[in-house]
Structure 1
Amino acid sequence: MLKPRSGTQETYSFNSPVGYAKKPLLPSLIHSSSQEKVEFHPHVKPKRIRLDTLPFEVRAKIANELSQFDCLNLLRTNKAMYMSTMPRLYQHIVIDENYSQFNKEIPFKYYENPEKTRPDYRKEHSCTFVKSSYNFRRLLTHYIQLYDTKFKYCEPSNIPTGSFPYIKTLKCLELPDSLNTYDHELNDQISEFFTTLVHLRELIWLNDNFRLEYLGSLPNTSSIRTLVLNIKFSNYLSELSSEPPEHSDTESISSVSSSKPLTFANITNFQIRPFQNSTRLQRIINNLLVGENSAQVSQNLRVLKIARFDKDVNVLVPPCGELVSPNSDSLSDLDLHTIRAVSESKLEYLANLQVLSLNNCLVSASDADLLLKSVNLKNLKTLELKNVSEYQRVTQAAVHEGIEDSFLTRICDHIGQLEHLALDFREAYTDTVWLFLSNLKSEVLKSLDLILRYNSTKLEQFSVDGLYQCYGQALVSGTKKDTVTKLSIEIKQENQFCDLIIPLPSNHFYRELSQFKQLSALRINPNVSHDCHEVLQMVESLPRLKYLDVFGAQAGGAPNLGLGMVHPTIYDDWFKVQHVAIMYFHHNSQLNYIRINRCVFERKDEVVPRDGLDAWFSQLVRVGYNVEM
């Protein structure tokens, strides 16, 4: 029961407003657990807590919750906050000229699982983005000075290791265009910068200016867990002569990049592009990945991704008519030994591999046996076969009888509980992709990125409608329609010079897609040239759909002039198709984002065009677009 107030106290409370800057609203004055009067003394100053008096670990945790811009303001307050905030600024560096601080969808927090024994435990850490050439050079200069003047000599002291601003993750997604990557001074500075990365755990460098000599500058290669590199213009490639595989071990990478051998003994994630041919791939695996630790690397490796080209293109793949031959003479110009290079390398049996990606490779049915001897497919969680072509050595008579043996049919029964699958598989005179999907035993498939291909040779064995029907039945076979949350379907017609993107036919696939009630992300090429009823009805039937990606010539409706301006605005392409986005939003109230070709829209109180989210959106609707896995 509340005690009666005296007249003076009531007058003071009635005439003293609260809730503004000089007198904030105190929750304890409103909510009291004991229902007793809270004594209030207006002239007594409340006890204040200073941030700089908190323990170092608490201040570091506070800094980890802030963005890089708030951290810069915080570290200027005093020395204590400077020391506890600096590690947060440098622990995770992302270099990306396309980053925008106004795109809140791109998080500055990342999570990792540092302990194998605790799979549910995730350690949280924040990152710093660098997007301009000035800031990139400033990062190199300042960190080198910081390391030389302070931390190089202070590490043995009693200051906690977490107080040192060591860079633990370095991601170079795209360097600023204004940087001259051929500048010798810049490359020398980058090499010196790499000598300071004592505790580096993740190195991701997708820009094509990377040099293998940078790896030779690393002071502690045993700390590396993730290595994702684009070695398109690396000096090391000039040393990778196309000599026979049996001589591939004679020259170590150490003779190219440094005086000491490179040993990534604890690496778990290895992604490399472009390897160009199987001979060079075997040299890269032997001299860069494995070194002298074949048993340990093979045991620890969880992610292996290899790509023949630096871009996901198929301009150099052989035509479909050349994928079948009665002898090997006509195949002599093709690089057919990618999987054999992996199998015959220093790598031992990969029993714990969880992610396998082959990009722009040529395989045969016999390569499946080599793959089974090299990788434990039952342990795979993610399988990506992107623009993979299968060649067959069969006679013309066998072609007319039908080709049943293939790479996919041989590995299908050995694949366990697959969660993510990307299939872009080229074949001639047969199609076993739909058969692979039908026989897939996984009951936990969450993501499916499928490209359906047909060409003139396949049409000798199948009709187009018959092929569509086989794929439609394969999509809903098993438990896929109950477990898949991310689905991308694309149809390509192979021609001699390029692939034609074909929209989904109006009489196929939409009924099957409507059965995927768990879908949260969908990517399709809709056929709305005559009637969009099938597409809208399918979108309306998906109760959990949040991200919709529609592409193709018909995705944005009939061509129009947008705002009709002589000088188009930055969002002119968005305004040309925003009426289509409004239509999709109207038919599904759960949709949050829609991408029409490259134009992303967000649902708020109204439809809002968004720029700079293309890469982020691709990770949500495609398989294999996350560089970290």
Structure 2
Amino acid sequence: MAPLYKVNIPIGHAGVPFYSNSQTPDNQRSLIDKDSISSILPFVSSSINSDTFGDKDYNYHPSIGTYNQYSSVRNNSIESLEPLSFFDRLPFEIKLKIANELNQYDALNLMKVSKSFFQPAVVRLYHTIVIDPCYSQFNQEIYQAELQEHDQSVNSSTFIKMKYSLKNFLKIISQEMPIEMCKIGYYNSHYGSLINKIQFVELPDGFNSPFDLNFFTFMSVKRLERLSRFYWSSDEELSFEIVNRLPNKSNLNSLHVSVDFKKVRAGSTEFEAFRGFNNLEKLSLEPFLNSFNLFQIFKNLLEGNNDKLNLKVLRLARVNSNHNFIKNPSSSLLVLTSYIIENEPIKLSEYDMNCILNLFILFSAAETRLEDLNVLSLDSIVVSTMDARRLDSVMNLENLKQLELKNITEVQLPEDVHSPLSMNDLYARLDAGFLKHLGKNLKNLTRLSIDYRESLRDTVPAFIYNLENLQELDITIRWNVTKLCSIQSWKHLCFMYIKAILKHSKTLKKLSLDTKEDSVFCDLHKLIFTECLLELGGLTELESLRLHGYSLQPCGPLLASMLKKLKYFELFGSGAGGAPHMGLQVVHDGVLDDWFRVQHVAVAISEQNEHIEFIKIDKCLFEVQKTGKLLPRDGLEGWFESKVRVILNRVDF
């Protein structure tokens, strides 16, 4: 009969488990104490109660050798230790590889029943930490399919969902490891030194108080001595001190942070915290607020790297257009003449047109450029025509494969205009524009997301039409009354965009189409004519489609039937499920089932196209099973968004 062992002291405080010398009856013995594991892994919950296990629960295969002799503890020393099976004799690296193939719950259970796998399982559980309240182990096969596209595995990550678990995790990483764990060789004395990647997709409910965030910034981060990737995408901004306290910056190759720059004083030395990132390949900064902060950040990045950066992914957001209410310059004041500047109540500080210019100055002075950049994302930045040439000097645009221009505002500056002019006269004085010059250098672009604001005209359709080999396209069509100077009507503009999209019918696999109309207080959605949307049936290779639901009613099933390769279909907006039902269709007293309200739309679409796998109507996601039935799915919002939109997420960092 295989021997059992019991942990007599809490792991993580004084040592690792020893075999028990006591002759406790089989029915009173347990493999391991629950408190022993929970002392170092309170943030991982197991679905199995270890106290219910005994020898009778484990059957060893006949081909696996077992031994009757086992070590006994005498005078706090181990006299002899015979392996229970050949698994005990495997090298640590092989055991770690086995542990990495298990999800967090199986890895936890493995360390409960095998002392030889205790150390590898702990290393696996701490290697990659993902804080995501929406994660569900029941969606694991879908997450795995997404990560495999990036040569990653969901099994090698430990997910934390609850506030309690996250608080315990932040406390544990500062604790010292037992001596036996330190004997692995290259790990330091704290559990935080086992962490290689940490990703905050979103914070759990309640974990957003200043105390919680400051505890993480000032107490926990300094223990992450072997960190190579840090990802923070929560709405909550971290203190600027987080950049200064990141240990071993030279090992960090991916940094995605949302930092509070409002408290950073101009002219201070705090920006020197950005020195030392010698191996940075992926960088995302938000919200840097103004061009001065951006100048100081890249000035110190260049000085700390001998005037050379090897960035492959770069995301710069003056403010995050997804999380914040943004006050953009009025669409009627995007063409600035000398007369307008002198006579209109304009605050030029609100435009802040020096972001690209400051990067151009820094990289020109350093006589370098970003040669290896593959992904560029710009958010809420004001540009001019000259910025396209400056951007080409800062980076090699021909290597770009993905470009995001989100909430970008183009400002035109006609020269020698000292008197009032009509809109038609101003339109005649406009130059070629930012996008026309930019598009000439985008030779290898395959993924594009664009939300572009300009006055008197719309250059986006021509920009999209002139690109080659687009595979993924995320467009927001902008409308304001000044565009009537050059465009006949809103319907005419819609057909211009449809024509540009159809040019890529042989290569386009993903399309997201949204519309916004400028208003005094906020942007409003504007309906697209149904006959325009039905033209999208010519996209023969399309696998993913996202449209505003109210624009497509009641022709959604008809369009779906035209797209034979469509797998993912989203109709967003509160009107996607049809007219409001005024509180009817209540499943239980006082409880309205959102899925029941919109499922008839999903049923009608799935019946017209048997290839569709997932349908999202408003906020409700359905999986279409092979039998034709619709299964509501929760916790897949982030995954599905990456399937229907062109965005950067944690997988890219």
2:331 counterpart (296, 320, 324):
320
Q: Which deviates more from structure 2 when the two are superposed, residues 557-566 or residues 168-177?
A: 557-566
1:90 paired to 2:126: yes
Offset at residue 156 of structure 1 (A): 4.8
Does structure 2 retain, via aligned residues, the 8 Å contact 1:454–1:493?
Answer: yes
Task: Map 1:41-80 onto structure 2 (within 5 A).
Answer: 46-48=62-64, 50=85, 51-80=87-116
CA distance in 2, matches of 1:160, 1:558: 61
Matches within 5 A, 1:325-344: 325-327=336-338, 328-329=341-342, 330=346, 332-333=348-349, 334-344=351-361
1:388–1:424 CA contact under 8 A, matched in 2 = yes
2:279 to 249, 258, 266: 266
**1:453 equivalenced with 2:453 (yes/no):** no
Q: Is the 8 A contact 2:529 2:551 kept in 1?
A: no
Cα gap change, 1:454 to 1:164, in 2 (>3 Å): closer
Q: 1:547 aligns with which of 546, 549, 568?
A: 568
Superposed counterparts of 1:400-415, under 5 Å: 400-401=427-428, 403-415=430-442
1:368, 1:602 → 2: CA distance?
Answer: 43
For 2:153 and 2:394, how far apart are their aligned partners in 1?
A: 32
SS in 1 for 2:113: coil
After TM superposition, the structure 1 = structure 2 runs for residues 216-255 of structure 1, keeping only pairs within 5 Å, are 216-232=244-260, 237-241=262-266, 251-254=269-272
Aligned pair in 2 of structure 1 residues 155, 60: CA closer, same or farther (>3 Å)? Answer: closer
1:171 to 184, 199, 213: 199
What amino acid is the match of 2:512? S
User: 2:119, 2:181 within 8 Å by CA — same for their partners in 1?
Assistant: no
Corresponding residue for residue 33 of structure 1: none
- Using the TM superposition, give the Cα deviation of residue 136 of structure 1 relative to its aligned residue in structure 2, in angstroms: 1.2
Aligned to 1:344, the other structure's residue is in SS state helix
Q: Deviations over 1:230-254 (max 9, x none)?
A: 013xxx542242xxxxxx6x72534
- Measured after TM superposition, the shift of residue 226 of structure 1 is 0.4
Amino acid at match of 1:461: S
Q: Give the TM-score normalised by the residue count of structure 2.
A: 0.78
Question: Which of 464, 488, 499 is the equivalent residue of 2:490?
Answer: 464
2:69 paired residue number: none
| Structure 1 unmatched ranges of 5 or more | 1-43, 114-119, 242-247
Deviations 1:436-458 (A, max 9, x none): 11112x22x21100111111000
Contact 1:240 1:283 in 2 (8 A): no
Q: CA deviation at 1:281?
A: 1.6
Partner AA of 1:392 in structure 2: Q
Q: Per the alignment, do residues 402 and 214 of structure 1 end up closer, same or farther by CA in structure 2, a change over 3 Å counting?
A: closer
Structure 2: tracts of 5 or more residues without a match: 1-59, 66-84
Kept in 2: contact 1:485–1:520 (CA 8 A) = yes
- Match of residue 290, structure 1, among 279, 302, 305: 302
Distance 1:80 1:168, change over 3 A: same
The equivalent of 2:311 in structure 1 is 301
CA contact (8 A) 1:273 1:307 kept: yes
In 2 relative to 1, CA 106–274 (structure 1 residues): closer, same or farther, beyond 3 Å? farther
Whether 2:526 is the aligned partner of 1:502: answer yes
In 2, the alpha carbon distance for the partners of 1:131 and 1:121 equals 24
Q: Which of 432, 452, 466 is residue 425 of structure 1 equivalent to?
A: 452
Question: Is the CA contact (8 Å cut-off) linking 1:504 and 1:526 kept in structure 2?
Answer: no
2:399 partner letter: N
Cα 1:368–1:566, aligned 2, differ >3 Å: closer, same or farther? same
SS in 2 for 1:448: strand
What is the DSSP-based 3-state SS (H/G/I as helix, E as strand, rest coil) of the residue aligned with 2:389? helix
Which amino acid is the alignment partner of residue 599 of structure 1? C
Aligned to 2:37: none
2:443 equivalent to 1:416:
yes
Provide, for residues 332-353 of structure 1, a one-character-per-residue CA deviation record: whole Å limited to 9, x for no partner: 2321111112222367311111
Structure-2 residue corresponding to 1:369: 389
Asked whether 1:581 is paired with 2:597, we answer no
Summarize the alignment of residues 374-393 of structure 1 with structure 2, pairs less than 5 Å apart: 374-393=394-413
What RMSD over aligned residues (CA atoms) do the two structures have, in Å?
Answer: 3.0
Alpha-carbon spacing, 1:189–1:252, altered in 2? closer, same or farther (3 Å): closer
In 2, Cα distance between equivalents of 1:52 and 1:532: 64
SS of the residue 2:607 aligns to = helix
Deviates more, 1:607-616 or 1:267-276: 607-616
What TM-score, normalized to structure 1?
A: 0.81
Q: CA deviation at 1:45?
A: 8.0
CA distance in 1: counterparts of 2:525 and 2:166, whole angstroms: 40
Deviation, structure 1 residue 528: 6.0
Distance 1:377 1:406 in 2: 17
Quick one: distance in 2 between partners of 1:317 and 1:71? 50
* Separation (CA, whole Å) in 2 of partners of 1:195 and 1:584: 52
Note the alpha carbon deviations across 1:258-311, whole angstroms, 9 max, x for none. Answer: xxx741010000001101111112122223x434214332xx111111111144
Q: Which amino acid aligns with 1:335?
A: D
Matched, 1:192 2:219: yes
Task: Report the alpha carbon displacement of residue 85 of structure 1 after superposing the two structures with TM.
Answer: 1.2
Distance 1:156 1:69, change over 3 A: closer
Q: Tell me, yes or no, if structure 1 residue 614 matches structure 2 residue 637.
A: yes
Shift of 1:411: 1.0
User: For 1:183, what is the secondary structure of its paired residue?
Assistant: helix
Check 1:609–1:52 CA distance in 2 against 1; reply closer, same or farther (3 A cut): same
